[in-house]
Amino acid sequence: MPDKDAAFVKEITPRSEDFSRWYTDVIRRAELADYSPVKGSMVIRPYGYAMWELMQQALDRRIKATGHVNAYFPMFIPEGLLKKEAAHVEGFAPQVAWVTHGGDEKLEERLVVRPTSEAIIGTMYSKWIQSWRDLPVLINQWANVVRWEKVTRLFLRTTEFLWQEGHTVHETEEEAQAETLKMLGVYKDFCETELAMPVLEGRKTESEKFAGADKTYSIEALMGDGRALQAGTSHNLGQNFAKVFDITFQGRDKTVQHGWQTSWGMTTRLIGGVIMTHGDDSGLILPPRIAPHQVVIVPIPRGDWRETVLPHAERIRDELEARGVRVMLDDREEHSPGWKYAEWEMRGVPLRLEIGPRDIRNEQVMLVRRDTRDKTPTPMDGLAGRIEELLGTVQQALFDRAVAFRDEHTVRTADRAEFDEILEGRPGYVIAPWCGDAGCEARIKTATQATIRNLPLEPPPASGNCIQCGKPGQVDACFAKSY
Amino acid sequence: MPDKDAAFVKEITPRSEDFSRWYTDVIRRAELADYSPVKGSMVIRPYGYAMWELMQQALDRRIKATGHVNAYFPMFIPEGLLKKEAAHVEGFAPQVAWVTHGGDEKLEERLVVRPTSEAIIGTMYSKWIQSWRDLPVLINQWANVVRWEKVTRLFLRTTEFLWQEGHTVHETEEEAQAETLKMLGVYKDFCETELAMPVLEGRKTESEKFAGADKTYSIEALMGDGRALQAGTSHNLGQNFAKVFDITFQGRDKTVQHGWQTSWGMTTRLIGGVIMTHGDDSGLILPPRIAPHQVVIVPIPRGDWRETVLPHAERIRDELEARGVRVMLDDREEHSPGWKYAEWEMRGVPLRLEIGPRDIRNEQVMLVRRDTRDKTPTPMDGLAGRIEELLGTVQQALFDRAVAFRDEHTVRTADRAEFDEILEGRPGYVIAPWCGDAGCEARIKTATQATIRNLPLEPPPASGNCIQCGKPGQVDACFAKSY
């Protein structure tokens, strides 16, 4: 029903007018996701799930290339296991779903639906690991997890979400730390290469670290409205879980030692990150590497176009497909070319290929970039190669644009008045000196809503006194309002 | 710790002695899976999960090639939704897990953890489908599901398991029926081509059909102990769910009509099927197409083998990997070649490649097939091609052997005394006439433990009178004891 659809395309709230409504409009109109009858849970629709599949493949490849293997652990965790690690249960108990009955019977022990799997995986590792020869254990899991959320938002914060969680055990503290940072690096490379989303890597403060970890590292991305999104975390768990779950091994020196662990995760919220990093008033802009359709071909329906134009369009499609380009030929009769242009722009397809009778006479097609809207008549001869090249150009241009945006929205100050003024008037990162005290961090949050996103991995000396208490600064921290 | 490991390899109960213990021993010693601290739930370990990943890829490719797309729906289903379809809730309510609390709060409405997703997906389809132009909807989901089981068995019957579930909506009854049978055919092709597991396709009886379906079709495989395993099901749901979930569309004739639906699923139990179809007293035998390692290279550690033999082994590995063969080079110092042979045989690797100093002098290697144990000296020249060929041969040989086994264990009879005698003494399929009455079916089950696995898709006239009541037979049914 063209009319209803056409209205749909127009119905997106402009991004500049209301970022939050724009975000939800785009997701629903582009059919990435939908609300479900289950409070706080969303449906990932085929177009959104196709993005997730491409992201999974690209990340899974990196996880395996760094020596990890996949496995699957039970989703249910007995209450007693979750409670073993004190900080862990304190962090997660308020937001877990409780299973109390199986069939008609009340369970002897309640089960939680995993909010994360340290407890169940740690229990298995304690069975599997006996000797230093069994180490390192490098296992990853792709799974659904549940965290009961009061306020939810499509992709960014939902009761159930999809993720991968890596869980490793090492012989030494140094190895665990190296693994923690290695995976942070893998995440950064994945985000920047595949999602064209520049990230800032760093260490979380004590108050922001994972419940049960020694150290938490994160990568943070800056969204189009100037808020930060935590895009991935990597935790050095030390021996905390190893001690409570009894993960011990006989060392090279024959003594019994506790393993050193890490865990790290990335989730479907990254889809939200992609939308908010690249999109514009017309809708989505997808980086070619994770676009379900990288090219849409729109034939111009003049005269007997099914006999004249369509065969050319099909030949181009086949040639692109043979090269591994993901291409969609939109030959629907019920929609005009103009409608199709708007539709596929809204859905973020990186390149549009228009082809009509005149193009065929001129042995060319029109290529239109989604990101810049540049239109370039392009010869049929060598077309597929040119398209592949252009997809690479678009991918890089999106990254460069996001880097430029981030740089424009990063300000350094050691002056509190300026700090407050920036955070009120102009969203983005503010880099400012901090004394290292959690109280100061909390007071800044209360006053400005901004939190410390992370601290540099190898911080130079602070550039001044703490922005809150005026005592000597310990480190320049990156502050921002965040999702 | 080599000694412990060596004992492990020997500790498998012979298959001929106790099939059930053999099955569990193989799974645990080959590290395919393990018991978990959660009653009825299992852990799929990396080696087992690698099999599942290969199976997923092969099945997902077929699902997409037939026009389906993937999506993801919430795992939680509100009680009220599950209860909408009467037969459905009656079938599943006794075996669902109930979530009653989120965080500290009691939920207003209890949630079930999906045992299958017709209810939640039907609810979404009712929102998404308005016109005949929106049809067909062809969506598949890869997910975990939970069915509370009293008696569980690794891979075959666990509280939580992994599967894919397809859910489609069509304009007409004929299209839905065609889809139901198409996916049954996809399943059959997948099992026979990838798992080398011959299957018998057919229609389930009324008493064995899916709760809420009009018709259920299945593929059945015969395990090494002569019991049948239901390997996949495809359901024609008619308009049953469409009516209760209000899935309507405006037809080509402008009238409002209910959609025609199908659903179909395959699960991780297929891993159990592979084990029980092909394994022997020494452990697993994996079909090459789903073997995590298709070839294991065992260098013979004589003299300065790290300088002389290992480089050749590495070159062979690299060449095989470049061709896409999954190869493992076992150069561990702490184990003898003999130990490695037993270990990788137990883990079912289809081909072993032995290479020592003498082989290198002779410009050859020794290839050993897991299925037949045939040893063939093979020239280095053209080795990779020869290995690829041999992997194809092994795949086919496993299928042929399983077909022969099934044929040997299929008997036709119209005589009840013979029927009982066969089912007692000799496991396998028994094809016998049945009148079509559910009472007869139930009485046969009580008397013999055998159930009707399925009925032929296009049955010829029955070959005699009902094996139970003696009245005229309606169809020759396939009976067997089953998992």
> How confident is the model at residue B10, as a pLDDT?
59
Cis peptide before B2 (omega within 30 of 0): no
> How confident is the model at residue A147, as a pLDDT?
94
B214 to A25, B86, B172, B205: CA distances (angstroms): 39, 13, 14, 11
Q: What is the pLDDT along chain B (483 residues), one digit of tens a residue?
A: 344 444 445 579 999 999 999 999 999 999 999 999 998 999 999 999 999 999 999 999 999 999 999 999 999 999 999 988 888 888 888 899 999 999 889 999 999 999 999 999 999 999 999 999 999 999 999 999 999 988 899 999 999 999 999 999 999 999 999 999 999 999 999 999 999 999 999 999 999 999 999 999 999 999 999 999 999 999 999 999 999 999 999 999 999 999 999 999 999 999 999 999 999 999 999 999 999 999 999 999 988 999 999 999 999 999 999 999 999 999 999 999 999 999 999 999 999 999 999 999 999 999 999 999 999 999 999 999 999 999 999 999 999 999 999 999 999 999 999 999 999 887 899 999 999 999 999 999 999 999 999 999 999 999 999 999 999 999 999 999 999
Residues of B in contact with A45 (CB under 8 A): 71
- Quickly count: other Cβ atoms within 10 Å of residue B53's Cβ: 17
Q: Which residues of B449-477 are buried (b: 16+ CB within 10 A; e: fewer)?
A: ebbbbbbeeeeeebebbbbbeeeebbbbb
The answer to whether B432 and B412 are in contact (CB under 8 A) is yes
Choose the closest CB to A43 out of B34, B73, B111. B73
The model's pTM is 0.96
CA distance to partner chain A, nearest, from residue B122 (Å): 11
CA distance to partner chain A, nearest, from residue B384 (Å): 23
Q: Which residue, B60, B195, B74, B236, is CA-closest to B144?
A: B74
CA distance to partner chain A, nearest, from residue B41 (Å): 6
Residues of B in contact with A43 (CB under 8 A): 71-74, 124
* Angle of the B19-29 helix axis to the B269-278 helix axis, nearest 10: 110
C-alpha span between A268 and A161 (Å, rounded): 6
Residues of B in contact with A50 (CB under 8 A): 69-70
- Quickly count: other Cβ atoms within 10 Å of residue A51's Cβ: 25
C-alpha span between B218 and B216 (Å, rounded): 7
> How confident is the model at residue B181, as a pLDDT?
98
Q: Do B71 and A49 touch (CB under 8 A)?
A: yes
DSSP string, A388-427: HHHHHHHHHHHHHHHHHHHHHTEEE---HHHHHHHHHHS-
Token pair for B479: 């009976």
pLDDT tens-digit series, residues A135-154: 999 999 999 999 998 889 99
The answer to whether B192 and B399 are in contact (CB under 8 A) is yes
Q: Do A41 and B74 touch (CB under 8 A)?
A: yes
| Eight-state DSSP code of residue A265 | E
All domains in chain B, ordered by first residue = 14-278 (3.30.930.10), 293-396 (3.40.50.800), 410-480 (3.30.110.30)
Residues of A in contact with B1 (CB under 8 A): 130-131, 133
C-alpha span between A216 and B481 (Å, rounded): 54
Q: What is the mean pLDDT of chain A?
A: 95
Q: Which residue, B40, B47, B18, B43, is CA-closest to B284?
A: B47
- Quickly count: other Cβ atoms within 10 Å of residue A421's Cβ: 12
Which residues on adjacent β-strands are paired with residue B112?
Answer: B77, B98
Q: Is A246 left (phi over 0), alpha (psi -120 to 50) or beta?
A: left
Token pair for A51: 């993005």
C-alpha span between A366 and A363 (Å, rounded): 11
> How confident is the model at residue B5, as a pLDDT?
46
Residues of A in contact with B93 (CB under 8 A): 103
Token pair for A143: 């799974």
CA distance to partner chain B, nearest, from residue A297 (Å): 19
Residues of B in contact with A93 (CB under 8 A): 103
What's the burial of A96, exposed, middle or buried (CB within 10 Å: 0-12/13-18/19+)? buried
Q: Coil, strand, or helix at residue B85?
A: coil
CA distance to partner chain A, nearest, from residue B232 (Å): 21
**Band (A197; pLDDT cuts 50, 70, 90):** very high
Choose the closest CB to A36 out of B37, B74, B143. B74
C-alpha span between B205 and A222 (Å, rounded): 58
pLDDT tens-digit series, residues A291-341: 999 999 999 998 899 999 999 999 999 999 999 999 999 999 999 999 999
Q: Do B97 and A76 touch (CB under 8 A)?
A: yes
Q: Do B97 and A93 touch (CB under 8 A)?
A: no
Cis peptide before B136 (omega within 30 of 0): yes
